[in-house]
Amino acid sequence: MRRYLARKLIIYVVTFFVAATIDWLLPRMVPGNPVSLLLAKMNLQPQTYNATYSLYMKAFGFNRPWWDQYLNFWRALLHGNLGVSIYDFPKPVTSVIADYVLFTLALLIPAILLAYFAGNKVGAMAARRKSLDNTVLPVGYLLTATAYPWLALLLAFLFAAGGIGHFFPISGGFSYGLIPAWNWAFMWSLITHWFLPFLTLFLVAFGGWAIGMRNLIIYELESDYTHYLEALGAPSKLVRRYAYRNAMLPQLTGLALQLGVIVGGAVVTEVTFAYPGLGYLIFQAVGNDDYFLLQGIFMFIIVGVLVANFIIDIIYVLVDPRTRVGISGA
């Protein structure tokens, strides 16, 4: 077990190093100069522009060779320093991310967990009931093939822009006239602004999980061990329970693979609804060529996805006896 976890940990460390390097490189491939955009906001006089430009280029380290900038990136990262935001200058990147990250977590965690458990349950039920299967299968294919921004626009039109009714707002994290406080008015505003972005992420993921579990349950019910149990006279409820538990193992692996996809879906969904999460912050950072803010956001996403995958690897070992036997044999 220790050797298995150590091997996995080495893989994740190497993955983190490669991902962090790409994270440093990608913002610098975006056309434009972040210092020029920053100075454009200051409306400087021509006689002071060049001196100020040189000062900021030196302060941000953009006047150094690329390899020196790369080494400084790692030195700062190992000390927990993600730099200063150019978009929200002179605020540290960590402080900017802290203002937005709770909104993204409030979307992702419920959407991932609810879609996973609800989709698996409904898919398992559809595999046993033909009447339900005739509904779940086409709806599931439709949902999982739907693009996040298109579904977000459709939900906004139906529930916020006059389709069925003006039930939910379509922009922001809460009403602009409210001051954040622990009272019912503010909490209700948070919920109403949160619901449509959450529903977008939930529905797309739900369709994929339902179809996957439906197909896996049908496969398990046609396998040799289920026929053997039925020949022994085992109750159908027991047979279905074994089929469900075995079908959950590939779905657990799929959860690890889908984390990056749903994070990408959260980015475009937040931009569509102008929801103040990390996705919307990425959009703002790209528009302002904010290298450090982009690096910090992607670093947070990289670490979050890698940690979640590592936890799923551990859970997989605990729930799958075949993996434990393989580890012991190794």
How many residues in total does the chain contain?
Answer: 330
- Residues 140/210, Cβ–Cβ less than 8 Å: yes
Supply φ then ψ for residue 33, to 5 degrees. -125, 115
Residue 163 has pLDDT above 60, yes or no: no
Please write the tens of the pLDDT for every residue from 219-267.
888 888 888 888 888 888 888 888 888 888 888 878 877 777 777 788 8
Domain spans of the chain, in order of start = 2-31+82-329
Cα–Cα dist 3/277, whole Å: 38
Asked if the peptide bond before residue 34 counts as cis, ω within 30 degrees of 0, the response is: no
- Residues 106/194, Cβ–Cβ less than 8 Å: yes
- Residues 297/278, Cβ–Cβ less than 8 Å: yes
Please write the tens of the pLDDT for every residue from 77-134.
888 888 788 777 778 888 888 888 888 888 888 988 899 999 988 888 888 888 788 8
Please give the residue that has the higher pLDDT: either 321 or 125.
125
- Residues 56/86, Cβ–Cβ less than 8 Å: no
Query: Is-above-0.85 flag for pTM?
Result: no
The CATH number, out of the four listed (3.40.50.720, 1.10.3720.10, 2.60.40.10, 3.10.28.10), of the domain defined by the range 2-31+82-329 = 1.10.3720.10
- Residues 124/221, Cβ–Cβ less than 8 Å: no
Q: What is the pLDDT of residue 14?
A: 92
Cα–Cα dist 155/171, whole Å: 13
Pick from 108, 100, 102: nearest CA to 266: 108
- Strand partners of residue 92: 84
Pick from 280, 78, 258: nearest CA to 171: 280
